[in-house]
Amino acid sequence: MENIEKTTICIIGAGPSGAATALMLSKLKIPHIIIDKALFPRDKTCGDGLILYAYRSLKILGNQLFQDFLKHPKFIHSKKIQFHPNDHHHIEFKETEERDMVISYAKRIDFDDFLVKHFSKTYTKTFFGSGVKIIKENKKGMQITLKNGKQIDAKLIVGADGAKSTVYRNLVKDKISKKLASTFISGYFNNVVLAKDNVAEIRLVYKKVTLFFYIFPLFDGKVNVSLGGRVDLIKKHNINLIDEIQHIIQHHKKVKGKFIHAEKDGNWRGWSIPFHFGKQKTSGNGFLLVGDAAGLANPFYKEGIGTGMMSGIIAAKNIERCVKENNFTAENLKKYDQELKDKFGRLLRFSFYALQVARFKSTFAFFTSLLKRKIESKSYGAIQKRSY
């Protein structure tokens, strides 16, 4: 019995979604356990960009946390994103003079560790370094067995364990369609020629399928270069993402000049981005899902850290209600599902339809060119509504 821990709430996964859940639960003075298979700091493959809800989440979790983020020496910020639907025009998403940034860049090894280091010593108990082996539902709640033999008994599990969620696999069990996920590769480069002011560059590249190409600068002079698209279409057309990204870097007329003296740092790394929200469960009897486990990444521009963190905050507030009522049933957790839909449903649906239209190169380029000024003028309000 010495190897059994009992808790009301157990969070599985200490990435941004799980960390935000833990930080908000601490703010609400609710004790909990958080598990992660890794020891921090640990690296995670990602595009390394933060926008919109990431800022809002940090401010909700605490103004001091937000200020620490702004002053962190390994996080850099920019007031501008350039989106290139084709090689002939681009749309700028930028902030007003009064506001500081529209995008920030932070390696996940640094950003995730930054959040974990802010965990409460009073309310958060961590078990890092061993993954989940078994999850079982019983009359008292959930039983989690770790690979090191540790057992944790909880009334509610928060699945914050990413795109290949063990919680989802054990408790939801439905398969996720490959039409509702993107696959990406990413690599770091030195000596890339960048635009001034740390401007983010996003391009659509058409190679039988619509591919998204990103160049994001980092604090240490490196850049994160990424390429990806929908899983099903990449498999259907047998697209080799490494071959394609190397071809873009070497031959794309708008890109190759930036990489004349560039040197690659390390290997290409891959990761997946699920956007199945609205198609699969996000809660059930004794569990709820946040972040990538809930499929909350944006289908179009692929960012999932902000929506993941915000879902953790929403989860924590619903957990507070469930703890007060001592009711962790699927019926009582439906309010969480509805709040996710209210917060993200409209944005994610619009982004999904935009992704569908973007498959038609000429049509998408025509409409983005036609609506360029309107999109840019409307972007200020849209950004502030979902940001800090």
CA 44 to chain centre: 11
User: How many Å apart are CA 155 and CA 327, to the nearest integer?
Assistant: 9
Torsion, CA 339, CA 23, CA 13, CA 132, rounded to 10 = -110
DSSP notation for 267-334: EEEEEEEE--BTTB-SEETTEEE-GGGGT-S-TTT---HHHHHHHHHHHHHHHHHHHHHT---TTTTH
Kindly calculate the radius of gyration of the chain based on its CA atoms and give it in whole angstroms.
21
| Contacts of the segment 377-381: beta carbons below 8 A, 24+ positions apart | 379/93, 379/94, 380/95, 380/96
pLDDT of the residue at 2: 65
**Domains present along the chain, CATH in parentheses:** 4-177+275-385 (3.50.50.60)
The residues of the chain scoring below 50 in pLDDT are none
Report CA torsion sign: 197, 198, 204, 207: positive
Q: What are phi and psi of 63, to 5 degrees?
A: -60, -35
Read off the tokens for 14: 């200490």
Q: What are phi and psi of 40, to 5 degrees?
A: -95, 145
Residues 6 or more apart whose Cβ sits within 8 Å of residue 316? 20, 21, 24, 25, 27, 28, 30
Task: Decide: helix, strand or coil at residue 35.
Answer: strand
Q: pLDDT tens digits for 159-189?
A: 999 999 999 999 998 888 999 999 999 999 9
Distances in whole angstroms, Cα of residue 181 to Cα of each of 55, 274, 277, 294, 325 = 25, 4, 10, 12, 36
Question: Looking at the DSSP assignment, which residues form a beta bridge with residue 10?
Answer: 33, 157
User: How many Å apart are CA 333 and CA 317, to the nearest integer?
Assistant: 11
What is this structure's pTM? 0.96
Of all residues in the chain, the percent with pLDDT exceeding 90 is 91
pLDDT of the residue at 173: 86
Question: Looking at the DSSP assignment, which residues form a beta bridge with residue 11?
Answer: 34, 158
DSSP 8-state code for residue 15: S
Nearest one of 179, 181, 252 to 215, comparing CA atoms: 252
pLDDT of the residue at 129: 97
User: How many Å apart are CA 35 and CA 133, to the nearest integer?
Assistant: 12
Query: H/E/C letters for each residue in 196-231?
Result: HHHCEEEEEEECCCEEEEEEEECCCCCEEEEEEEEH
Q: Count the helices and strands in the chain (H runs, E runs).
A: 11, 18
Pairing of strands 181-190, 223-230: antiparallel
